[in-house]
Amino acid sequence: MKKSLIIALGAIALVACTKTSVSYEQTGEIGFAPVVRKNSTKAVVQGVLFEPSWSIRVFGYYDKSVGKGNEYTAGKFTESYLDGVEFTKKTDGSTWTGKEHSYYWPKTGSLLFAGYAPAGFAGVTHDLATNKFSVVEFNQPDFSATTDLLYAGYGKSVLGENVPMTFAHALSWITVRAKADANIKVKITNIEIQGVAMKGASTALPAWTTSGTKTLSVYAPSEADIKVLASADTKVESNPDCGLVFPQTLTDAAIIKVSYKMDRGDGTFVEQNPFTKKLNELKSGSDFVGEWVAGSHYTYNIIFGAAAEIEIEPGVTAWTSVPVENISATN
């Protein structure tokens, strides 16, 4: 089961944070209204509503002389107001409030916030001097067990209102589909992506430093589950809840490999030489797709007997879409 990690990035202090005890009057409870995905259990965040089970660890920064609705100004918001406090969804509402107890707005001034989720995720730090989040090196173990990572922020100071947080994807999302023309019968036995990095670290999201290469098993059905592709209505697809990868430059070693059998005309399927294609040789419009970009959804459509299509749908606040040329699965 894929884990989910969310990082909220605000227009927060760009100087070192000094922890102080801020005096305040209880003018109203602080609550957050995170936005990302639909209310579902899918591992890949596809919609706009925040998953109710996720919690957020929040950092708040205070300045008594700055009113709400202002951008960060150097030298302001240096007082710590919330120091890594966990916020969870209220059972009777749509906002996230303090897990252990309530936290309240100051009577004057305003606050800026940063945070990440889930609150128990280790290895995430925030640097006020640079306004960046860092993530220690971690592995995406396989195509079927990946970690969804998002970051978002609140750009202006707030006071006395639920704080909206809109999250952005820090990873790329890969989907692979395959089908055949009506006059061809094909059995796909395996699809894999070779030569891509599945280990990464960041000192300034969404930029990543990746290392090593790995072969990802994208589609590997059991013998009983192998389908006969004989028309456009019959297709196979990688698990849509998987396929989150690090943004990275695609080298010549990054290829997609398809193992398959074809009907020789009498119902007997014969193993063919695997079909391979360098990922950086595929185009979106007139441009080569030489890298996977954070927040982009790349759909590789493989068509036997005709041109195939690759779409990239990135977006986020929703994933953004990037159309890519078709892949014709012929050797």
Report the C-alpha gap between 242 and 69 in whole angstroms: 39
Q: 205 and 254 share a domain?
A: yes
Of 154, 169, 184, the last residue of a domain is 169
Better-predicted residue by pLDDT, 117 or 217: 217
Closest CA to 293 of 174, 138, 125, 151: 174
Q: 234 and 160 share a domain?
A: no
- Identify the pLDDT of residue 311: 30
Q: 23 and 54 share a domain?
A: yes
Question: Above 90 in pLDDT, residue 252?
Answer: yes
pTM of model > 0.85: no
- Identify the pLDDT of residue 326: 62
Number of domains in the chain: 2
Q: 64 and 14 share a domain?
A: yes
Q: 18 and 154 share a domain?
A: yes
Q: For the segment 151-204, what is each residue's pLDDT rounded down to a tens digit?
A: 766 678 888 878 887 777 888 888 888 888 777 888 999 999 999 999 999 999
- Identify the pLDDT of residue 4: 41
Of 169, 189, 217, the last residue of a domain is 169
Q: 164 and 243 share a domain?
A: no
Supply the CATH number for residue 9's domain: 2.60.40
> Which range is least confidently modeled, 54-63, 126-135, 263-272?
126-135
Q: 66 and 161 share a domain?
A: yes
Q: 204 and 108 share a domain?
A: no
Q: 185 and 315 share a domain?
A: yes
Question: Above 60 in pLDDT, residue 309?
Answer: no
Q: 194 and 267 share a domain?
A: yes
Supply the CATH number for residue 273's domain: 2.60.40.2630
Q: 32 and 127 share a domain?
A: yes
Q: 209 and 280 share a domain?
A: yes
Of 169, 196, 216, the last residue of a domain is 169
- Identify the pLDDT of residue 70: 87
Which residues partner with 160 through β-bridges?
none
By residue range, what is the domain housing residue 163? 4-169
Question: Above 70 in pLDDT, residue 9?
Answer: no
